[in-house]
């Protein structure tokens, strides 16, 4: 598969998910931690990350898609599912479990690719760092909005 396919899949998918799951009144009304970035930060960061994710996926697909490609695909599916769960279904607790699983897949991808393709592994390091930050943000929102970590 071509790099263009992976770029369209990741950037296009991310843009579509972002368009259809823009934060609404529910999110605006939530208490947020002091380290919440300005909303204008998310689109440029995710665009850059999606380019890196696409490049790593393309490199992992050729010449022989194996376990790393399976993990890459699962990670992308989890990535794309987080926003609808958090912003559309208003389920930050469920979204937290999704993002923790995503972080595990990112780490697994890095470990699987490190020896054969260190560049792909390194491309996932910023993705892992941002996902860890997002998981902390998700957890803080849960904590700030309910003693039971259930926001409805």
Domain boundaries, the chain: 3-145
**Distance in angstroms (rounded) separating the CA atoms of residues 53 and 12:** 12
Sorting pLDDT into bands at 50, 70 and 90, what band is 141? very high
Over the stretch 29-82, which tens digit does the pLDDT of each residue have? Answer: 999 999 999 988 998 999 999 999 999 999 988 767 789 999 999 999 999 999
Please tell me the predicted confidence (pLDDT) of residue 152: 52
Please tell me the predicted confidence (pLDDT) of residue 144: 93
Over the stretch 102-123, which tens digit does the pLDDT of each residue have? Answer: 999 999 999 999 998 999 999 9
CB 125 within 8 A of CB 135: no
CATH superfamily of 3-145: TspO/MBR protein (1.20.1260.100)
Average pLDDT over residues 3-7: 93
User: CA–CA distance from 148 to each of 30, 64, 151 (Å)?
Assistant: 15, 46, 8
């Amino acid at each position: 598969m071509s790099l263009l396919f992976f770029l369209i899949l990741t950037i296009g998918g991310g843009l579509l998910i972002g368009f259809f799951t823009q934060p609404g009144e529910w999110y605006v009304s939530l208490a947020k931690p002091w380290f919440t970035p300005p909303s204008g930060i998310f689109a440029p960061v995710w665009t850059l990350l999606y380019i890196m994710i696409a490049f790593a996926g393309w490199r992992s697909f050729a010449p022989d898609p194996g376990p790393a490609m399976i993990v890459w695909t699962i990670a992308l599916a989890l990535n794309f599912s987080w926003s609808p769960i958090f912003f559309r279904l208003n389920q930050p607790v469920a979204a937290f479990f999704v993002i923790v699983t995503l972080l595990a897949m990112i780490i697994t991808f890095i470990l699987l690719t490190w020896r054969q393709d260190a560049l792909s592994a390194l491309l996932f390091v910023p993705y892992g760092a941002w996902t860890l930050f997002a998981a902390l943000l998700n957890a803080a929102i849960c904590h700030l909005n309910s003693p039971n970590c259930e926001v409805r």
